[in-house]
Chain A
Amino acid sequence: SAVISQKPSRDICQRGTSLTIQCQVDSQVTMMFWYRQQPGQSLTLIATANQGSEATYESGFVIDKFPISRPNLTFSTLTVSNMSPEDSSIYLCSVEVGLAGNYNEQFFGPGTRLTVL
């Protein structure tokens, strides 16, 4: 299993500012993922972050808006840049832990609830 923590747990920000969310895992993992979950909606993958390489972004998400760092195997940050009210959401980090038979189980952080005024 994996224990994941995120900081901050919540924040209220002014439009036009940026917020950096931190994700810490209690074990070394190869792949970390950042999701967005808007109120009442499903989880949408923003990007995949591998240590030592550029993050891979999903359609609709760009590096300039959501820069990601992955300095080591237990830590990652996601920045939400130049925020607007539409960025109000819960942001969750996630990791995959390998299971027997080449399958991976996902574990999630507690999420960061962002409100942009």
Chain B
Amino acid sequence: GENVEQHPSTLSVQEGDSAVIKCTYSDSASNYFPWYKQELGKRPQLIIDIRSNVGEKKDQRIAVTLNKTAKHFSLHITETQPEDSAVYFCAPNPELTFGTGTRLQVTL
């Protein structure tokens, strides 16, 4: 199966700062790269994704960048807000393996 790792495992930033989470995968056949946000006690929900033929995608304060050669993709959150506090998972497809998760805490 695919090895999927995330770094860091925990991240604490002050409100307004940026946060970056990196996901490293092993399967070179991966062609779809989503990020999920899971708030405490809730289900994971897709927040942004990128496909293998694109290097970067942005949606307001959230962006994802992909480096297929190095087999990693990153989630970027700018101007962080307290409601961004959650656990974030990457899940490179087509394997159904989730990353180890990153707990983001945005402090006031």
Residues of A whose CB lies within 8 Å of any CB of B are 33, 41-45, 48, 58-59, 92, 101, 103-111
Contact B89 A103 (CB under 8 A): no
Interface of B is mostly: loop
Task: Give A104 to B95 CA distance when docked, in angstroms.
Answer: 11
* Contact among A33, A101, A108 with B43 in the assembled complex (CB-CB below 8 Å): A108
Other A-B contacts than A33-B96, A105-B49, A107-B46, 6 sampled, CB-CB below 8 A, are A42-B89, A42-B99, A48-B96, A104-B93, A108-B43, A110-B43
Task: Give A45 to B97 CA distance when docked, in angstroms.
Answer: 7
How many residues of chain B are within 8 Å of chain A by beta carbon?
A: 21
Count of A-B contacts with CB under 8 A?
41
> What residue in chain A is nearest B33 (Cβ atoms)?
A103
Contacts of A106 in B (CB 8 A): 34, 46, 91, 96
Interface residue B100 (Cβ < 8 Å from any Cβ of A): yes
Contacts of B43 in A (CB 8 A): 92, 108-111
Contact B100 A103 (CB under 8 A): no
Contact A103 B44 (CB under 8 A): no
Contact B93 A103 (CB under 8 A): yes
Whole-angstrom distance between the Cβ of A23 and the nearest chain B Cβ? 12
In the complex with contacts A59-B1, A108-B43, A103-B91 CB distance below 8 A: no
Contacts of B32 in A (CB 8 A): 103-104
Contacts of A107 in B (CB 8 A): 46
Whole-angstrom distance between the Cβ of A90 and the nearest chain B Cβ? 9
